[in-house]
Structures are given as C-alpha cells and as structure tokens.
Amino acid sequence: MARARYYHILRFLHFTDNNRNGVDRQWKMRELFEIIRTNFSKFYKPSEYLAVDEVIVKFKGRIVFKQYIPKKRKRFDIKMFKLYDSTGYTHDMNVYLGKDR
C-alpha cells in the first residue's frame, strides 16, 4: 500500500460518532480502551508481585487532557498509569484525565 493511501485511510479512521458530546474527556476512545483493558485481564492471571508505573505516551494531536511535565524529555504527552506483572505484562491501565473538579 502506498504511503499517501495509508495516511488518507488513517485520516478518516474513527471509532465513535463525532457528534456525541459530554462531560467525559475520553469519550472518543472509551469503548476501544475498555475492550483492551478487559482483554488484558481476561487472558492472563497475574502473580502476586505487581507494580504500578507512570508512563508517558507520545501523542501529536489536540486533546484536553494532554499533560505538561517540564522535567521529562517528552514534555507534552498523555500520562497513563499501568499495573504490571513481574514478567512485564500489563494487567490494567488508566489514562490520567486531569484533576477532578
């Protein structure tokens, strides 16, 4: 597939209806994110040794919950919290959407 064709398809790829508006900041990705989270926990049972880690995910788009962290190399990105097993498998994750008001 040509690069221009790939970017043209990627431009119009959506997971939900754009007309839906609400209080939820993650409304466009909510359904896809929940499917991923349930499959992570459904197919693997973690051991008793777990760790919580803060992960910065690169994102070049415009979103409300983008975080500014001045001491990181990637300053403007999405902050996530992940629950890892001792083998490195992600068992659960949560996107930080900002301070609750």
pLDDT digits (tens, 9 = 90+) for 24-67: 677 777 788 888 888 888 888 888 899 998 888 887 777 777 78
Give the three-state DSSP class for 4: helix
Q: What is the dihedral of CA 47, 41, 61, 77, to 10 degrees?
A: -20
DSSP string over 63-76:
-TT-EE-TTSSS-E
Tokens of 98: 């900002």
Residue in this structure with the two tokens 């760790």, named with its chain if needed? 51
pTM, whole model, 2 decimals?
0.64
What confidence score (pLDDT) does residue 101 get?
43
Q: Which of 85, 100, 98 is nearest to 49 (CA)?
A: 85
pLDDT tens per residue, range 7-34: 898 888 776 666 766 666 777 777 888 8
Q: Where are the domains positioned within the chain?
A: 20-95
